[in-house]
Amino acid sequence: MIMVSRLGEVVNVSGKTIVVKGKKISPSAMGRVVIDKNMKDVGRVVDVFGPVDNPFAKVILFSDKNDFCENVLYLR
């Protein structure tokens, strides 16, 4: 069984990098695979930063597809 948890909503897209704003993103998210609502692999978390109550995650995309604005993404 695959454990999936909500990462947050995409707030910025720049090339193959996206920034996701979440409510509970812990440093343990580093290195984890990010998936979309269709359970397709999107990228990998490479950084967690910002305020503790509303952190951000920097995700490097696996492909050049970057139409993720205002989408919710999840951690696998």
What does the pLDDT read at residue 16? 92
For residue 16, give the DSSP letter. Answer: T
Task: Write out pLDDT tens, residues 28-41.
Answer: 899 999 999 888 99
What does the pLDDT read at residue 70? 62
Intervals of the chain under pLDDT 50: none
Compute the distance between CA of residue 35 and CA of residue 62 in angstroms, rounded to an integer. 11
Strand partners, 61: 43
Average pLDDT, the chain: 89
What does the pLDDT read at residue 68? 66
CATH topology of domain 5-75: Thrombin, subunit H (2.40.10)
Compute the distance between CA of residue 57 and CA of residue 20 in angstroms, rounded to an integer. 5
What does the pLDDT read at residue 71? 87
For the chain, which residues make up each domain, given as ranges? Answer: 5-75
The model's pTM is: 0.89
Tokens of 50: 């910002």
- Amino acid letter at 2? I
